Amino acid sequence: ALEALIFDVDGTLADTERDGHRPAFNAAFAEAGLDWHWSVELYGELLAVTGGKERMRHYLAQYRPDFELERRAFPNLEALIAHLHRRKTEHYVSMLRAGGIPLRSGVLRLLREAREAGVRLAIATTTTPDNVTALLESAPEPGLVDGFEVIAAGDVVAEKKPAPDIFELALAQLNLPASACVAIEDSENGVRSALGAGLEALLVTTSSYTEQQDFAGATLVVDQLGEPGDPATASVGDLGG
């Protein structure tokens, strides 16, 4: 029987990457006087690497060979990355507090249905914990964040998605076997992570950057959770609850 839903955040609860994380990174780069700018297209490529700090390191290594030459200006690259990431998080959280990014269609409905059916709720995400709280608190439903028993997020595990670590942590904190849970994801990296943790019941709701990705192993792939009346609407009943 279904005992818990484990949600990814970025792309799944809300379409946060293109108009949320991406401009927040760009704002942090600009205020630091860096000539880094992540276009919508480039950001799609950079999403191959999860985690904001990891993504910045990947960008420098793969797209900015010139930066190696300028390294003298940044003797402590890790401190720079940590600083940029802190500022990026502040920009992103302010954007959410200003009501910038709504939850996706069907998310609130499914969360309410789960609550009514006694199904427990958890999160497994690579993003920073502050970002998760700010997103849930910006939703038009007070106390949403308290409905999540487990929030596994960010640097608490050694390896981010596609490694299974964060889903394994969420399962351990729920104290449930993978067979009692359904994972909800939007990306190939997330699917690989969930499957790696043994979560064979896996619903994918594709998002703007992930439509073309490979979701082999997923149980069901739809373009959104949707509201009743939409062609593909997933309900807790469908998921086994």
What are the structure tokens assigned to 42, written together? 């480039």
Question: Going by DSSP bridges, is the β-strand pair 181-185/202-205 parallel, antiparallel, or unpaired?
Answer: parallel
Q: Answer whether 203's CB lies under 8 Å from 187's CB.
A: no
Interacting span for Mg ion (CB under 5 A) from 11-19, 127-135, 164-172, 227-235: 11-19
Least separation in angstroms between residue 52's CB and ligand XBP is: 2
Q: Which is nearer to Mg ion, 11 or 241 (CB)?
A: 11
Is position 230 annotated as part of the catalytic site?
no
Cα angle 61, 67, 71; round to 5: 110
Interacting span for ligand XBP (CB under 6 A) from 106-114, 143-151, 182-190, 229-237: 182-190
Cis peptide preceding 177, ω within 30 of 0: no
Q: Say which residues have a Cβ less than 8 Å from residue 161's Cβ, sequence separation at least 6.
A: 50, 126, 187, 189, 190, 192, 193
**Count residues contacting ligand XBP (CB under 6 A)?**
18
**Interface positions, 162-201, toward Mg ion (CB under 5 A):** 186-187
Is position 8 annotated as part of the catalytic site?
yes
What would the DSSP string read from start to end of 26-84?
HHHHHHTT------HHHHHHHTTS-SHHHHHHHHHHHH-HHHHHHGGG-S-HHHHHHHH
Q: Answer whether 17's CB lies under 8 Å from 208's CB.
A: yes
Instruction: Indicate the residue type of 203.
Output: L
Residue selected from 2, 28, 51, 202 as contacting ligand XBP according to rule CB under 6 A? 51
Site string for ligand XBP, 7-36 (x = CB under 6 A): -xxxx-----x---x---------------
Residue selected from 127, 205, 210, 213 as contacting ligand XBP according to rule CB under 6 A? 127
Residue nearest to Mg ion (CB): 11
Residue selected from 2, 6, 26, 126 as contacting ligand XBP according to rule CB under 6 A? 126
**Interface positions, 193-232, toward ligand XBP (CB under 6 A):** none
Q: Which is nearer to ligand XBP, 123 or 241 (CB)?
A: 123
* Residues taking part in catalysis: 8, 10
Which residues here bind ligand XBP, judged by CB under 6 A?
8-11, 17, 21, 50-52, 125-128, 131, 161, 187, 189-190
